[in-house]
Amino acid sequence: MTASATAWIGLGANLGEPRAQVLQALAALEAHESMCLLRRSSLYRTPPMGPPGQPDYINAVAGIATGLTPEALLEQLLTLEGRLGRQRQGERWGPRVIDLDLLCYGNEQRHSDFLRLPHPGISERGFVLLPLAELAPGLVIPGHGRVRQLLDRLDVSDIEMIEAA
């Protein structure tokens, strides 16, 4: 693999065995021939965003190096979700077996029907910013600012680290 960019991937699950599924997804990222896992965050328990009555999520963030384009990387993440048992049924922010989000890709900013970079809502999501700040507090999210400064604006008191990296 020829690495050309650093990308940040958000991982989350709240159905089945969420901890195991997030760890399995991290292992799949590490084993992927087009990705090199650079770092991974601790695991965090977070309240669900979206429809009420869902179980808590287990969330993490991974930093990877890749030679894939952002679109090709997103395709690979969607394929990986399917291999790990995710069936997209259209309920926005509903419960899921695994969720892999392309958060940032270098300094790219894109807006298409298929891909938005950075990921929409990243600057308001503590379940993304807290694990991302663990890995890269000085990272500048294009169009938003530094991760640590964005995190400092949020109340993350309901997010709990459950397993250190």
Return the structure tokens found at 7: 């990308």
Res 3 pLDDT > 60: no
Q: How many CA atoms lie within 13 A of 125 on its CB side?
A: 23
CATH architecture of 5-163: 2-Layer Sandwich (3.30)
Question: Helix and strand tally (H, E) in the chain?
Answer: 4, 10
Which pLDDT score is estimated for 95? 74
Res 59 pLDDT > 90: yes
Kindly report, residue by residue over 100-141, the tens digit of the pLDDT.
999 999 999 999 988 999 999 999 999 999 999 999 999 999
Closest alpha carbon to 48 in 101, 96, 100, 116? 96
Kindly report, residue by residue over 11-33, the tens digit of the pLDDT.
999 999 999 999 999 999 999 99
| Residues in Cβ contact with 128 at an 8 Å cutoff, skipping those fewer than 6 apart | 10, 59, 61, 101, 103, 119, 122
Determine whether 96 is an active site residue. yes
Q: What is the C-alpha to C-alpha distance for residues 80 and 28, in angstroms, rounded to an integer? A: 8
Kindly report, residue by residue over 74-94, the tens digit of the pLDDT.
999 999 988 887 676 666 666
Determine whether 83 is an active site residue. no
The residue annotated as part of the active site, out of 19, 96, 148, 153, is 96
Domain ranges in the chain? Answer: 5-163
Determine whether 101 is an active site residue. yes
Res 1 pLDDT > 60: no
The residue annotated as part of the active site, out of 88, 99, 155, 158, is 99
